[in-house]
Amino acid sequence: MFRKIIFWTHLVCGLAAGLVVFMMSFTGVILMYERQINEWAAEQHYVPAEEQGQRLPLEQLLAIQRTTQPDMRPTTLVITNDPGAPVALRAGRAGGASLNPYTGEAMETGSPRLDAFLNAVTGWHRWFNVEGEGRATARQVTGISNVIFLFLVVSGVYLWLPSIWKWALFKARLVFRREYPDSKARDFHWHHIFGIWAAVPLFFVVYTGAVISYPWAANLMYMAFGAEIPQAPAQGGGGGPAGGAAAPGAQQGLARGAIQQEGSAAITSDSVAPSYLPLSVLVDRAIMASGGDWNRLNVTLPAATDPAVQIEVDPGNGAQAHKRYTLSIDRTSGEIAGTRTFADQPEATRLRGIARFLHTGEVLGFWGQTIAGLASFAALFGVWTGFALSYRRLIQPLFRKK
């Protein structure tokens, strides 16, 4: 009786969310190597070897940016371990710029058509590419469908188990056959095989998708690993205790942004305190401390009074938070004042950082992306065969009776 309840619930949920699951899986396959595609597109615009020479000091690049884009106040520099790569200036949501490290000129970082295509695919994956007020509703549909998908994965594993536990029956549902008596037998077998082989990676892909969409899913993850659930930030607004004043957290964020803007202005000016080493020298110290094992550096521009500069060293692919660490370098002596590793962060922060890119497999590198993509590809067969089997069970008998 219990198995029948699970079966019919599985079938109904599959019919209800099948098309959305198919869409998310299909777009997931397309986005499997999105990071590598974007990197390849960016490399097409890198400075050729014959045009490379003496790199401009970072202070000079910042001065050029301040002259050409006076309204932009960068807070972070991103330096890639490739002599032809641009130096990227980031200003949060306000935008950024990518400069030629040898001339200071603006550089292209990709293909507009490719970016538009990948952005459209990502939009379909997340919210049917809906714009405007309907996006919130579309996002709820994909979020709920993702939770249903999680139930389909878990219940599918239960339904895959044979009623009689014999190795021959297990093997029959694990190995493809060369021939099938009819299309129904083929679809039934493929539904079981693709489902069980993709079940483990799909569980992590789908559950981390729920973590991204819903706080309760993230809280369950924190509880499972014994991590303290982070408190939601206080909301400012007219209904607050201060009669519209911003919350303390928001005030700190605004103050920090103002300090960083002031710091970037101080760095780009000619009045840098002589007791402070140039930013380029401090970056070189970070590279020496890394032993050459780095792919990119994220330099937080210090305020004029900050005694140290924070430089994040990333030896991974940009999505592997567990490989990154931050060096605090004294601006006067150039000595390493401290190191903050992944293990030094709160456990909830570590879990969230891993879950974000476990959804795409990027946290495990190229092979993780491949496994996540293949699991999404298997899900396409799961939806297709599930609809085919449901049609034979629910629709075909109606025609036979007639």
224: pLDDT confidence band, cut at 50, 70 and 90?
very high
240 pLDDT tier (thresholds 50, 70, 90): very low
Residue 43 has pLDDT above 70, yes or no: yes
Give CA–CA dist 256/195, Å, rounded.
Answer: 49
Residue 349 predicted with pLDDT over 90: yes
**Residues 143 and 284 reside in one and the same domain:** no
pLDDT at 32 over 90: yes
Report the pLDDT averaged over residues 266-278.
60
Tokens 């140039």 locate to 278
Q: What is the dihedral of CA 268, 272, 277, 283, to 10 degrees?
A: -10
What's the rounded Cα separation, in Å, for the pair 88 and 99? Answer: 6
- Rounded average pLDDT over 321-338: 96
pLDDT of residue 291 exceeding 80, the answer is yes
For 132, left (φ over 0), alpha (ψ -120 to 50), or beta?
left
- With 0.75 as the threshold, say if the pTM is over it: yes
Q: Which tokens sit at 313?
A: 């060293």
Mean pLDDT score of the chain: 88
pLDDT at 177 over 60: yes
Same domain, 29 and 143: yes
Taking 90 as the threshold, does the pLDDT of residue 178 lie above it?
Answer: no
Total count of residues recorded for the chain: 402
- At 140 the pLDDT is 96
Residue 249, pLDDT score? 40
* Residue that finishes a domain, picked among 297, 313, 345: 345
Q: Write the CA distances from 309 to 260, 334, 347, integer angstroms.
A: 11, 10, 25
| Residue 378 belongs to domain spanning | 2-36+128-228+366-401
| Span of 62-71, 140-149, 259-268 with lowest mean pLDDT | 259-268
Residue 400 has pLDDT above 80, yes or no: no
136 and 220 share one domain? yes
Tell me what percent of the residues of the chain surpass a pLDDT of 70.
Answer: 88
Question: Is 93 inside a domain boundary?
Answer: yes
Residues 151 and 209 in one domain: yes
pLDDT reading at 261 higher than 70: no
pLDDT at 259: 39
Is the pLDDT confidence value at 29 over 60? yes
Mean pLDDT of 321-331: 96
What is the distance between the alpha carbons of residues 326 and 306, in angstroms, rounded to a whole number? 16
Pairing of strands 76-80, 296-300: antiparallel
Q: Which residue has the tokens 């790199």?
A: 55
Helix/strand/coil (H, E, C) string of the chain?
CHHHHHHHHHHHHHHHHHHHHHHHHHHHHHCCCHHHHHHHHHHCCCCCHHHCCCCCCHHHHHHHHHHHCCCCCCCEEEEECCCCCCEEEEECECCEEEECCCCCCECCCCCHHHHHHHHHHHHHHHHCCCCCCHHHHHHHHHHHHHHHHHHHHHHHHHHHCCCCCCHHHHHHCCCCCCCCCCHHHHHHHHHHHHHHHCHHHHHHHHHHHHHHHCHHHHHHHHHHCCCCCCCCCCCCCCCCCCCCCCCHHHHHHHHHHHHHHHHHHHHHCCCCCCCCCCHHHHHHHHHHHHCCCCCEEEEECCCCCCCEEEEEEECCCCCCHHHCEEEEEECCCCCEEEEECHHHCCHHHHHHHHHHHHCCCHHHHHHHHHHHHHHHHHHHHHHHHHHHHHHHHHHHHHHHHC
Q: Is 199 a member of any domain?
A: yes
Same domain, 198 and 80: no
Residues 31 and 175 in one domain: yes
Centre a 10 Å sphere on the Cβ of residue 214 and count the other Cβ atoms it contains.
Answer: 15
Q: What is the pLDDT of residue 94?
A: 58
pLDDT of residue 306: 92
Domain count, the chain: 2
Which whole number is the average pLDDT over 75-87? 96
* For residue 401, pLDDT beyond 90: no
Q: Residue 190 falls within a domain, yes or no?
A: yes
The amino acid that residue 265 corresponds to is A
Residues 309, 266 share a domain: yes
Confidence at 216, pLDDT banded by 50, 70, 90: very high
Residues 223 and 135 occupy one common structural domain: yes
Q: Once rounded to an integer, what is the mean pLDDT over residues 171-182?
A: 89
| Co-location of 213 and 303 in the same domain | no
For residue 203, the model assigns a pLDDT of 97
Q: How confident is the model at residue 256 (pLDDT cuts 50, 70, 90)?
A: very low
Strand order in the sheet with 296-300: 96-99, 87-90, 76-80, 296-300, 308-314, 325-330, 336-340
In a domain, 356, yes or no: no
Q: Is the domain of 295 the same as that of 333?
A: yes
Residue 254 banded pLDDT, cuts 50, 70, 90: very low
Question: CA torsion 148→152→155→159, rounded to 10°?
Answer: 150
Residue 215's DSSP bridge partners are none
pLDDT, mean of residues 345-350: 94
206, pLDDT greater than 90: yes
User: To 10 degrees, what angle do helices 199-213 and 134-160 make?
Assistant: 150
Question: Taking each helix axis from N to C terminus, what angle separates 183-197 and 365-390, rounded to the nearest 10 degrees?
Answer: 150
Q: Which CB contacts under 8 angstroms, 24+ apart, belong to 164-170?
A: none
Q: Report, as an integer, the average pLDDT of 150-170.
A: 90
The answer as to whether 245 is a domain residue is no
Confidence class of residue 234 from pLDDT cuts 50, 70 and 90?
Answer: low
| Residue at 238 is within a domain | no
Q: Are residues 195 and 297 in the same domain?
A: no
What pLDDT, on the 0 to 100 scale, is given for residue 396? 86
pLDDT at 192 over 50: yes
In a domain? residue 176 = yes
Q: Does 44 reside within a domain?
A: no
Q: Which two tokens stand for residue 96?
A: 């950024």
Residue with tokens 């405007």: 132
pLDDT, tens digit (0-9, with 9 covering 90-100), for 304-313: 889 999 999 9
298, 327 in Cβ contact below 8 A? no
Whether residues 23 and 166 fall in one domain: yes
Residue 236 CB coordination number (10 Å): 16
Q: How confident is the model at residue 235 (pLDDT cuts 50, 70, 90)?
A: low
